[in-house]
């Protein structure tokens, strides 16, 4: 089902990015300082091994076109012309306090967010690479960072401290912080735990924001993709989760070029790649479900009160027990519905997923998968 892009690397590929511009270039970074640029047909355009041979941990194209490619290695960021990899256009030494894990550019390409092992997030001015803000709140490795589309002063970061933080960059302070451990415990309370079943802590590996800017998705070590809806005033309105993988979920990316903004592709340590339509998930579309459920509850209560006035003391108790049974049935039905709302596409890739990159290649919606091997695998999403 998938096609292989080979001979671009000699070690495990750690990151991939795609430029949605007219050229549709793809960049991949690997262990040992390897950087490769590909055409949208999978032809190698250029290869380079960075001096120092530090792992290339993140690569991102400038959103203003494929004029620049930003690459993190060690605590530095190098900027390349992707069509000429001979030498960097710019080098930002000590861009991170420690080894950098993730890069993110804002929509105009004027700010670069750098997340590192110290837990800090630095904001660099582009061009030049001057550090204009330092965001410190994570108590462990900051693993992933993303700007909110259409909200240039909002940035979200996640880390191995299980924290999701939405930052207001004007005052360099968190607008809110969510602990995924608390969120996961709430989810577990609503699900039956099998005897002997253990859950990994929800260490946060990857965060993505839908193109509308209101839905966050975070892949975590507990196998879930945790979802959050941001409302007016950048407040956290609602949270929930999708049980996406049987082992840790390493990647989650919203896809901006399908029929609506709430398609998401996920990958995990279970070797599976899954495509989800989240448009009807309660976190994404809560209003219809809430409006449908609320009148039923109100009718039940008012009817119960009227009957209590006409019946003796034992019968209201019977009614109460009946209402509880109906609620239990409704909860079980809801759980069955959630279990049925599985992925629209599930691919048994077979190897742990290091990185996923949604892309349009040769005019076809696709997902590029990097794993423990030296090859990239491209799966088409055209059957949608």
pLDDT of residue 322: 64
Q: Where are the domains of the chain?
A: 1-136+353-383, 137-190+198-283+342-348
Instruction: Give me the CATH topology for the region 137-190+198-283+342-348.
Output: Methylamine Dehydrogenase; Chain H (2.130.10)
Torsional class of 10: left (φ above 0), alpha (ψ -120 to 50), beta (otherwise) = alpha
pTM here? 0.85
pLDDT of residue 104: 98
Instruction: Give me the CATH topology for the region 1-136+353-383.
Output: Methylamine Dehydrogenase; Chain H (2.130.10)
What is the residue-level pLDDT of the chain in tens, covering all 384 positions? 799 999 999 999 999 999 997 889 999 999 999 999 999 999 999 999 999 999 999 999 998 766 899 999 999 999 999 999 999 999 999 999 999 999 999 999 999 999 999 999 999 999 999 999 999 999 999 999 999 999 989 999 999 999 999 999 998 899 999 999 988 777 666 555 544 445 799 999 999 999 999 999 999 999 999 999 999 999 999 999 999 999 999 999 999 999 999 999 999 999 999 999 999 999 999 764 433 333 333 333 344 443 344 334 344 444 466 666 666 665 555 554 554 579 999 999 999 999 999 999 999 999 999 999 999 999 999 765
Q: Which residue has the tokens 């950098």?
A: 100
pLDDT of residue 290: 36
């Amino acid at each position: 089902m998938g096609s292989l892009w080979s001979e671009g690397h000699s070690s495990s590929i750690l990151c991939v990015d795609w430029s949605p511009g007219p050229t549709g270039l793809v960049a991949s970074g690997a262990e040992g300082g390897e950087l490769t640029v590909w055409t949208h047909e999978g032809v190698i355009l250029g290869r380079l091994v960075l001096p120092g041979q530090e792992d290339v941990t993140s690569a991102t194209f400038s959103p203003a076109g494929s004029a620049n490619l930003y690459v993190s290695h060690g605590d530095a960021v190098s900027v390349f012309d992707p069509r000429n990899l001979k030498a960097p256009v710019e080098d930002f030494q000590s861009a991170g306090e420690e080894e950098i894990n993730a890069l993110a550019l804002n929509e105009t390409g004027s700010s670069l967010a750098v997340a590192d092992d110290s837990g800090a997030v630095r904001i660099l001015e582009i061009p030049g690479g001057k550090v204009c803000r330092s965001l410190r709140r994570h108590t462990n490795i900051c693993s992933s960072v993303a700007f909110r589309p259409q909200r240039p002063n909002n940035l979200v970061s996640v880390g191995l401290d299980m924290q999701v933080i939405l930052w207001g960059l004007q005052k360099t302070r968190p607008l809110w912080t969510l602990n995924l451990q608390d969120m996961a415990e709430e989810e577990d309370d609503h699900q039956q735990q099998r005897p002997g079943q253990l859950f990994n802590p929800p260490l946060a590996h990857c965060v993505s924001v839908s193109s509308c800017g209101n839905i966050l998705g975070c892949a975590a070590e507990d196998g879930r993709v945790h979802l959050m809806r941001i409302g007016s005033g950048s407040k956290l309105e609602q949270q929930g989760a999708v049980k996406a993988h049987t082992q840790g979920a390493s990647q989650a990316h919203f896809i901006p070029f399908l029929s609506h903004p709430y398609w998401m592709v996920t990958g995990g340590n279970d070797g599976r790649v899954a495509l989800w339509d989240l448009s009807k998930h309660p976190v994404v579309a809560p209003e219809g479900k809430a409006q449908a459920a609320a009148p039923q509850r109100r009718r039940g209560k008012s009817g119960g009160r009227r009957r209590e006035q006409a019946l003796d003391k034992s019968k209201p108790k019977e009614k109460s027990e009946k209402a509880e049974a109906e609620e239990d049935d409704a909860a079980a039905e809801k759980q069955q519905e959630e279990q049925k709302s599985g992925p629209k596409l599930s691919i048994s890739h077979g190897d742990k997923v290091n990185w996923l990159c949604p892309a349009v290649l040769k005019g076809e919606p696709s997902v590029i998968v990097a794993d423990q091997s030296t090859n990239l695998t491209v799966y088409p999403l055209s059957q949608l």
